[in-house]
Chains A and B, each alone.
Chain A
């Protein structure tokens, strides 16, 4: 690990100030489950590390009449065990339950989970790849078993966050604090694909941090499910995952949000699958059509063809759970 300057500010304003004066060479550390690995592996070498743990005000799950607000420093295990979340958002609870391992969920935070960097082994290894400002993506003709089948463009990382996949399905939004003030964006718009910016995965500027997630109250009849496939059952990032949130009225799917994880550089909203579901009776035929639609535009690489079937099947699994 290379030496860096360590900050432990007491107020959010101090965090923003430090970030805005570091010229892009500062990183924030919440639970530390991602950034510490990056520092130790030498793939991130900031001059300054700003610890957020000393901030008192960002750990909460608050219910209001329009939804639930989750402070960015709330740990994943706290959210997973929260009675409000358990009651209203089983989809999120399911996703968190298969995220990492219990020890990591005790440490990792909501904000960190959403803002973690991809796990591409070229990004994380001694390879001068596009996402690090280099000349090429090593996955294209390399070892691409875990890489993207959707939304790839020059770079083929997959977004690693299970919670982000679930939250986009839940139509969540993100509150961002920066030196220019505060703003809120739909979480879906928070992430950016490589065609927009190949160097980062979200819209955060150097002086900005994510402070809060808002999840709107689901409409009556809403049902959600999350399915994920892992190579190692205790903790592993998704080979693929499928988050589904549908509003059911008399067995008919009135509204649907379908988001795929582990298969694209961002949590991948499948409008194609949603179109197949909306207004239809949720039966095996509809499920099959929606699942097929979700991967119709997939462009697998040499070693990840299996992800097409896997994604289709996981979406079927999630939809079948809603149907039951």
Chain B
């Protein structure tokens, strides 16, 4: 993980000319890292394997159950650990009785707060969390851990641990917490801090300001004031959070369902003061993260400690219920005041957001919902204030498109509302406010294909025609269309290293630290490697996300995996290829630079029939193994690297039942070169499915009177199932050239979720005239909305 301490250090002048500084944008947070200069590789002009819909290299393993996930790990003499969690949202614990639990059959140990208090998770920048606590600040916070030989024994023992609580007052509603009426005082200076990644100070919002709001509002022909709200969104990964830890002497092996094994290794190493070579973290297969598994979890540390205490391997995999009491996307309340000219140009935007971030500082980083407001549309006069408000709820975390997903719900509906008011095509309104320069960094965008997304998406969707359709007033079914757009990072960056080994039979091992969190990393990295080496994908075996056997890379967050590790993989493959061509040049009696490698042959470029098989060249390697190394080079200086996209959707609404059905989605995204159309489309469809849940059905609710969650299950939380995923999703890439890295690709992990929910909300408005400003768009809101419009239903 990148933390500030490490990244802010300047490079001493005159030091090693091989390194330079590079900016990396992770989840909207810009950090500067020092990185190795990498010799540029020529752009791929024509590709054979890259760009092809290669099937997933691990697809068969996954569908046949052979792929081993953290929860599949079974070790001899392994114990199961379960946490005892707070039943109250805020309390002081007077006593914990563990005698009965310890006497229960199969129980090996119980850990209490005093046993773990010297181990603190997190860091001063991100905020810290106790592993176990005597003053729980939310329902579900960990108090103790018990380990037993079977899961059932551990569950029974957890129930036998008696916790005596002294209940304390609690507050759930951020708008109450912010006022003097709050029954809880989290800090003497106040109950909120700034949200986001800048310097945060208790009692002060984080502020972005440019121009002069008064001037902007004076220039405006229309002023819009609107409030939008978003509910918390839970990650609900198919694989819940979990860890299996095993000590072999002083050497620790941890299987972790994580987006980044190196971040987990660093944190374990730091918390327990262990040398990094004694901490091996393996996360080869994992079932979804969406931001919730960016680093180590509490269960990681507790499993490691419990394994140390008992001398046995320990598995600690959360239940679905526990998973639902953990990390999530925070709720937001967004107040906007926007000035607009008659021609649609924005003259001023004022935005104030309130974000509920749980009871610890660690959540406040995610308590921000204004990055799109700052960047998306040309506007000279802007002020945003984000307040991250403390509440007795679990700490939120990063979730796919953090901040922008919340922000888009408000901003993209607001743009739609303005377009309707000005009687203007929502695309036209957006184009009139298009901007080529990042208004926050003042850097130009390296490439921006948003206009192309609008054009292609509108054409494929038949936007002009569908937008003008009118509903039959007599029909109880109403149809409507809507669109929204988005901006995200996704340029990736250093550090990332890859190793390509060519074996003497011509087979290849690709070693990359990158996680495959279901996105297809292993497949696309194989394609990049195969393309550069000129061999078929099936000749490559990928080993990934294992701190002992693969080199460092940043975690899979911020849509950076492809654009970070992909170029390193290409560099490593190129390094290996150059070495092999050196050897082949001797055999073929030419200079290495005269050779090419393609389709499994090494041949003289000018005389293709003068050739040898790739494996023949490999068979002649004196060392029997050839190792290519590749590094991710720096990003271009002075430019902002962003991915863009536009989504269009059509809905059908039953005005009797209030039900909204998504009929169609067209998504057009600008992510540079598409490495694999299958995995690209899967990412987009997955994002739209997740956005459909955010728009229509998902709701996390904590009982207002007791502070206990009542939606901690897949049934009550209502994420979309495969049957809820829109059936008709068309996915397009606009293929705008991108040259900021040697593979020409930007990320597409998070972008496809950002525009989805507001596109649906805009379509609902178009269909019914009901503007639903808070998600989810339930039958209740449709029915109430229609009623307040005065329409007889």
Binding site for B on A (CB under 8 A): 1-3, 37, 41, 101, 119, 121-122, 125-127, 138, 141-143, 145, 227-236, 239, 306, 309-310, 313-314, 316-317, 320
Contacts and interface: CB of A to CB of B under 8 A. Distances in A.
A231 B787 CA distance: 19
Contacts of A41: 321, 713
B706 A234 contact: no
A310 B152 CA distance: 44
B768 to A, nearest CB: 14
Nearest to B87: A126
A309 B708 contact: no
Nearest to B721: A234
Nearest to B776: A231
Interface of B: 87, 152, 155-156, 321, 476, 654-659, 661, 696-697, 701, 703-706, 708, 710-711, 713, 715-716, 718, 720-724, 776, 778-780, 783-784, 787, 793
Contact of B710 (A125, A230, A234): A125
A143 B780 contact: no
Contact of A122 (B710, B711, B720, B793): B710
A142 B707 CA distance: 11
B780 A145 contact: yes
Given A101-B721, A231-B697, A306-B780, A313 B657 contact: yes
Given A121-B711, A121-B716, A317-B476, A233 B705 contact: no
Given A1-B152, A126-B708, A309-B783, 5 more contacts: A1-B155, A125-B710, A232-B718, A235-B723, A306-B783
A181 B427 CA distance: 72
Contacts of B704: 142-143
Contacts of B721: 101, 232, 234-235
Nearest to B153: A3
A230 B659 contact: yes
A143 B656 contact: no
B84 to A, nearest CB: 13
Nearest to B709: A125
Chain A contact residues: over half helix, strand or loop, or mixed? loop
Contact of A138 (B87, B155, B654, B706): B706
A179 to B, nearest CB: 32
A231 B779 contact: yes
A317 B321 CA distance: 37
B718 A231 contact: yes
Given A143-B703, A229-B779, A234 B720 contact: yes
B478 to A, nearest CB: 14
A239 B705 contact: no
A309 B778 CA distance: 14
Contacts of B778: 231
Residue picked from A232, A234, A306, A310, most chain B C-beta under 10 Å: A232
A138 B705 contact: yes
B658 A143 contact: no
Nearest to B699: A231
Nearest to A313: B656
Given A121-B710, A309-B783, A310-B657, A142 B476 contact: no
| 7 nearest A-B pairs in the assembled complex, by CB-CB distance | A234-B723, A229-B657, A121-B710, A317-B656, A306-B780, A232-B697, A234-B721
Nearest to A102: B723
Nearest to B661: A233
A306 B705 CA distance: 22
Contacts of A2: 155-156
Contacts of B658: 229, 310, 313
Contacts of B705: 138, 141-142
Contacts of A138: 703, 705-706
Given A121-B710, A126-B708, A143-B710, A317 B718 contact: no
8 contacts: A142-B703, A231-B718, A234-B721, A239-B779, A306-B779, A309-B783, A313-B783, A314-B656
A138 B723 CA distance: 33
A143 B701 contact: yes
